[in-house]
Amino acid sequence: MTISRVTKNGKECYKLDAGTIDGQRRRFFFATKKEAQRKLAELEQDRREVGRAWADLPARERVEAVRVIQEMRAAGVTLAGVWQAYRAGQAGKATVSRTLGEVIGELLAAKRQAKRREVYLRSLEQHLKGFAKGREGVAIASVGLEWVETYLGASKSLGSRMTRLNRLSTLLAFAVRRGYLQANPCSAVERASVELPPPSVLSVPQCRALLDATREADAAFLPHLALCLFAGVRPAEARRLAWSAIDLGAGLLTVGAADAKTRQRRVVELPSACVAWLRLGGDLPARNARHRLSSVAKLAGIAPWP
């Protein structure tokens, strides 16, 4: 373990290279050398205590421990997996060895191969990497209820808590199916009841104000709004639609399976008002749709957006 002076994010600091811990190369950064030396002393003390505990074991037990760990490694199981199986009363079903980082990678690859949408995959990856931060090299078999509840406890709202729980449960259920984990600890979590407010509906005057404000400030955004207001197209679907999906002469919109939320192709008959607004032209698909909608809604006096 070494301490060196480095520059990080434009600022000088001290780096403590602690070597490999839990399968991951660990480096710590401190504002002062004294703080780095204090952390170094703590790590060295931990190592000495581990060494003393090992030395206190009879020689025969040390040899046996090394032999068993080598056999487990060859069989693809972990100490944590064996212990979890024992506690679950399934001592004969040791868990195959995989790290948390490895299983997250496997899950994302499987979801991508199953053609899940990229927006979902990005959300899933963001949540799971947040959960695994700093312990990617830890065996997934060691993930228990305590870790899950600690992660959920950092949620900022009930909605955020439910999203975290669902994303994490997706990972752990996948690990169970692959044989890396005996049980999904998320199943032991009490799920909160989230009461959603009734949906708000824009009035006709609000729709008129929104379209007028868009025509004045961001006319290229009109096709996106027209499809949402007049054709019953979901905003997420509208962000994926191109002009090639629209036949203005026939007054028809074809929402392809790849663009539809339900993954099923549908044909929408466009009202004459929708066709009239679409004939003004503009961007399809619309980039930065959420930001642009927020801007024109404020101009139309619709704030906050319902």
**pLDDT tens per residue, range 229-242:** 998 888 888 888 88
Predicted local distance difference test score (pLDDT) of residue 126: 92
Give me the domain span that covers residue 19. Answer: 2-56
pLDDT confidence of residue 124? 93
Say what percent of the chain tops pLDDT 90: 29
Q: Are residues 131 and 171 in the same domain?
A: yes
For residue 10, give every residue at least 6 positions away whose Cβ sits within 8 Å of its Cβ, in sequence order, or none.
none
Burial 230-247 (b: 16+ CB within 10 A, else e): bbebeeebbbbbeeebbe
Identify which of 72-81, 104-113, 146-155 has the greatest average pLDDT.
104-113
* Percent of the chain residues past pLDDT 70, beyond the cut: 88
Judge whether residue 74 has pLDDT over 60.
yes
> Which of 58-62, 219-223, 284-288 has the least mean pLDDT?
58-62
pLDDT digits (tens, 9 = 90+) for 118-166: 888 999 999 999 999 888 888 888 888 888 888 888 888 888 888 999 9
- Judge whether 123 lies within some domain: yes
Angle separating helix axes 100-113 and 118-132, nearest 10 degrees: 170
Which CATH number characterizes residue 112's domain? 1.10.150.130
**What is the predicted pLDDT for the residue at 37?**
87
CA dihedral (255, 258, 263, 266) in degrees, to 10, reads 20
Residue 246 is assigned to a structural domain of this protein: yes
Task: Please give the pLDDT value at position 3.
Answer: 85
Check whether 71 has a pLDDT greater than 80: no
User: What single DSSP character describes residue 197?
Assistant: P
**pTM of the prediction?**
0.54
Q: Is residue 74 part of a domain?
A: no
Residue 105: what pLDDT?
93
The answer to whether position 249 is within a domain reads yes
**Residue 12 forms part of a structural domain:** yes
Per-residue confidence at 299, pLDDT binned at 50, 70, 90? very high
Per-residue pLDDT band for 87 (boundaries 50, 70, 90) equals: low
Q: Which of 27-36, 73-82, 202-211 has the lowest mean pLDDT?
A: 73-82
Query: Helices 158-178 and 145-153 sit at what angle, rounded to 10 degrees?
Result: 150
Residue 184 lies in a domain: yes
The C-alpha angle with vertex 272 and arms to 202 and 233, in degrees rounded to 5, equals 50
**Mean per-residue pLDDT over the chain, rounded:** 84
Number of domains in the chain: 3
In a domain, 259, yes or no: yes
Pick from 42-56, 91-105, 156-170 the range whose average pLDDT is largest: 156-170
